[in-house]
C-alpha cells in the first residue's frame, strides 16, 4: 500500500455535545479504519481500531450511541469524510477490548443511525400504489399522523417501478418490508428485480438491469498504467458457478405453488432460465438437459386480501400475475452472482457499491485465456482484445471496503457479473 493518506479528524460526539478527540496523543498512532458497504445491505458500517494510551474509553464510559466525525486526507482524491450531521454513523458497540500495561486496544463498531431506528419501527398500515413511491414513503415519511417509516433526511436514488402493489405491513420492520418488495418490483415489461442498499451518498432502490447499463470506470493490471489510481494491485477469481448448488437453488428451473386461501385453490407456475428476456447469450450446457428439470419447489400464499375494497376480478388476476413474476426475479438475482472477482486498488473514496467497473487483465505470454486472474498476469503486456484475460470485462461492485491504517490505504472490491447474459 502507498503512503497516500493522513488523518486530520477522528472524534466521537455524545448526545450532550461533549466530544472525545482521538488525536495522536490519545492513540499512540493513527487509527485503523475499515469502512464497508454492499448492494445486499440496507446499512453501511465501519470499524475503527484504536490504541487508547490513557484508557479514556473506559474512564469516560464510552458504551454506544455516540456519533462520529472523521476526515482522512487522500493524495489525488477528495477527502474521505464522515460527518455526524450528514452521514450519521452511530457507535453501535465497543468490542475486542484488550489491555496491555497502561494502554487499551479497542475496536469501535459504527452503523447508520437509520439501521438503529429501523429496530424501533413496525409497519402495520396498508399500502397501495407505485412500489417506488411506497419505498420512498417508508424511508422519508415524517408526517405527524404517520411516523411508521425511517424518516431519513439522506438522499434517495431510485429507478421508477412500472407496477403498482397493495399489501399490509404485517408488523415487519421498514427495511425488511423494502427488501421484501424488491423481487416484486418491475422496471420494465420484461425485467424484474431491484436492489435496496445504502452507500455513503444515501439510500438506493435500483433496478438490476439499469445498474448493469451504467458507465463503467476502467482499471488495469499493468505497470504501464500512467495513473496510479487506475491500477489493480491484486486480483483473484472466485469460482462461484457451483452447478450442484444452482440445481438445488432452482436457478435453471423452478416451480412455485401459489396458494389462494380465500378461494381454497392453488396454481402451479414453472419458470425456466431460457425463458428470460432478452435470451441468454451463453446458455448452460448440462448433461441430460438437467437445466430443463424443475429442481426447486417453492410455496407462496397469494395475498389478494390486501387488495383495495371493491377490487375487480381483473385486479385479482393482475395480482396473481405479479406473484408469478417472482420466479423470474429469483432466477435473475441468482444469475447476477454467477461469477465474482475480488480486486484491491489504491484507495478511491469516489467509488460506491452498485457502480460498474471494467477491469482489464492481460494474458501471460504464451498462455491462453482462462484460469485465475493472478496466474495469467503479464504486467508488461500491451492491451488489446487478443491479449486480455477472459475474465476481463464489466462487473458490478457488490461489496466495497476502504481500509485505512497508518499512512497507507487501499480499496477492496468484490465484483460480480452474469456470465450467461454478459
Tens digits of residue pLDDT in 184-225: 888 876 677 899 999 999 999 999 989 999 999 888 875 554
Confidence (pTM) = 0.82
Give the sign of the dihedral formed by CA 205, CA 208, CA 214, CA 220.
Answer: positive
The pLDDT tens digits of the residues spanning 17-52 come to 777 777 544 545 568 899 999 999 999 999 998 877
Helix (H, G, I), strand (E, B) or coil at 21: strand
Alpha carbon of residue 316 to chain centroid: 33
Helices 174-181 and 131-140 sit at what angle, rounded to 10 degrees?
Answer: 160
Residue 397 has pLDDT above 90, yes or no: yes
CA-to-CA distance for 379 and 362, rounded, in angstroms? 7
Is-contact 380 224, C-beta < 8 A? yes
Is-contact 396 380, C-beta < 8 A? no
Q: In CATH, what is the architecture of 214-240+338-417?
A: Beta Barrel (2.40)
DSSP secondary structure of 348-391: -TT--TT-EEEEE-BPPTTPPS-S-TTTT--TTPPP-TTTB-TT
* Residue 100, burial from CB neighbour count under 10 angstroms (0-12, 13-18, 19+): exposed
How high is the pLDDT of residue 369? Answer: 45
CA-to-CA distance for 91 and 46, rounded, in angstroms? 9
Write out the three cell numbers for 313.
376480478
Q: How many CA atoms lie within 13 Å of 388's alpha carbon, on the beta-carbon side?
A: 14
Helix (H, G, I), strand (E, B) or coil at 316: helix
Class of domain 121-210: alpha beta
Is-contact 51 57, C-beta < 8 A? no
What SS3 string covers 192-207? ECEEEEEECCEEEEEE
How high is the pLDDT of residue 225? Answer: 46
Which of the listed ranges 222-236, 292-306, 349-363 does the model predict with the highest average pLDDT? 349-363
pLDDT grade for 376, boundaries at 50, 70 and 90: very low
The pLDDT tens digits of the residues spanning 113-165 come to 999 999 999 988 888 889 999 999 999 865 434 566 899 999 999 999 888 88
How high is the pLDDT of residue 264? Answer: 80
Alpha carbon of residue 128 to chain centroid: 27
What mean pLDDT do residues 272-301 have?
A: 72
Which of the listed ranges 4-13, 253-262, 273-282, 340-349 does the model predict with the highest average pLDDT? 340-349
- 214-240+338-417 and 5-116 share a CATH fold: no
Q: What percent of the chain has pLDDT over 70?
A: 70
What mean pLDDT do residues 376-395 have?
A: 56
289 phi/psi in degrees, rounded to 5: 50, 45
How high is the pLDDT of residue 371? Answer: 46
Q: In what order do the strands lie in the sheet with 155-158?
A: 155-158, 202-207, 194-199
CA distances from 44 to 70, 82, 169, 180, 203 (A): 15, 12, 25, 19, 10
Mean of the per-residue pLDDT values for the chain?
78
| 5-116: CATH topology | Thrombin, subunit H (2.40.10)
Give the single-character DSSP code of 28. Answer: S
Q: Which residue has the higher pLDDT, 73 or 312?
A: 73
Bond before 63 cis per omega within 30 degrees: no
CA-to-CA distance for 209 and 206, rounded, in angstroms? 9
Is-contact 48 110, C-beta < 8 A? yes
Residue 375 has pLDDT above 80, yes or no: no
Kindly list the domain boundaries of the chain, sorted by start residue: 5-116, 121-210, 214-240+338-417, 243-336
Q: Which residue has the higher pLDDT, 202 or 271?
A: 202
CA-to-CA distance for 421 and 89, rounded, in angstroms? 38
Is-contact 51 40, C-beta < 8 A? no
CA distances from 35 to 108, 304, 347 (A): 12, 43, 11
Amino acid at each position: 500500500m502507498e503512503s497516500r493518506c493522513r488523518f486530520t479528524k477522528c472524534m466521537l460526539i455524545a448526545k450532550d455535545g461533549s466530544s472525545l478527540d482521538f488525536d495522536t496523543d490519545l492513540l499512540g498512532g493513527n487509527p485503523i479504519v475499515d469502512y464497508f458497504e454492499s448492494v445486499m445491505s440496507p446499512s453501511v458500517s465501519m470499524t475503527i481500531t484504536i490504541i487508547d494510551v490513557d484508557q479514556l474509553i473506559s474512564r469516560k464510559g464510552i458504551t454506544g450511541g455516540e456519533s462520529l466525525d472523521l476526515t482522512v486526507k487522500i493524495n489525488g482524491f477528495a477527502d474521505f469524510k464522515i460527518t455526524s450531521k450528514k452521514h450519521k454513523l452511530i457507535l453501535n458497540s465497543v468490542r475486542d477490548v484488550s489491555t496491555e500495561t497502561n494502554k487499551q486496544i479497542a475496536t469501535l463498531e459504527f452503523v447508520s443511525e437509520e439501521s438503529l431506528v429501523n429496530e424501533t419501527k413496525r409497519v402495520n398500515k396498508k399500502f397501495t400504489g407505485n412500489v417506488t413511491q411506497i419505498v420512498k414513503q417508508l424511508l422519508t415519511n415524517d408526517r405527524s399522523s404517520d411516523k411508521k417509516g425511517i424518516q431519513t433526511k439522506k438522499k434517495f436514488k431510485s429507478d421508477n417501478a412500472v407496477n403498482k402493489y397493495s399489501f399490509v405491513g404485517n408488523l415487519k420492520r421498514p427495511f425488511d418490508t423494502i427488501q421484501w418488495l424488491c423481487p416484486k418490483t418491475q422496471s420494465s415489461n420484461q425485467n424484474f428485480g431491484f436492489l435496496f442498499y445504502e452507500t455513503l451518498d444515501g439510500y438506493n432502490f435500483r433496478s438490476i438491469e439499469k445498474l448493469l447499463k451504467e458507465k463503467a470506470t476502467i482499471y488495469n493490471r499493468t505497470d504501464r498504467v500512467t495513473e496510479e489510481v487506475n491500477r489493480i494491485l491484486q486480483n483473484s477469481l472466485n469460482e462461484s458457478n457451483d452447478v450442484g448448488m444452482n440445481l438445488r437453488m432452482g436457478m435453471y428451473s423452478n416451480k412455485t405453488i401459489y396458494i389462494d386461501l380465500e378461494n381454497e385453490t392453488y396454481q402451479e407456475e414453472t419458470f425456466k432460465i431460457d425463458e428470460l428476456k432478452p435470451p441468454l447469450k451463453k446458455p448452460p450446457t448440462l448433461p441430460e438437459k438437467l437445466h430443463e428439470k424443475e429442481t426447486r419447489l417453492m410455496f407462496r400464499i397469494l395475498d389478494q386480501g390486501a387488495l383495495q375494497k371493491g377490487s375487480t376480478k381483473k385486479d385479482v388476476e393482475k395480482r396473481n400475475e405479479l406473484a408469478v413474476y417472482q420466479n423470474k426475479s429469483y432466477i435473475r438475482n441468482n444469475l447476477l452472482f454467477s461469477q465474482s472477482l475480488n480486486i484491491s486498488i489504491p484507495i478511491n473514496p469516489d467509488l460506491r457499491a452498485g457502480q460498474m467497473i471494467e477491469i482489464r487483465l492481460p494474458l501471460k505470454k504464451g498462455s491462453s485465456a482462462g484460469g485465475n486472474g493472478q496466474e495469467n498476469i503479464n504486467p508488461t503486456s500491451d492491451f488489446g482484445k487478443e491479449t486480455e484475460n477472459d475474465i476481463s470485462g464489466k462487473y458490478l461492485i457488490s461489496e466495497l471496503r476502504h481500509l485505512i491504517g497508518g499512512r497507507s490505504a487501499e480499496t477492496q472490491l468484490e465484483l460480480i457479473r452474469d456470465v450467461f447474459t454478459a
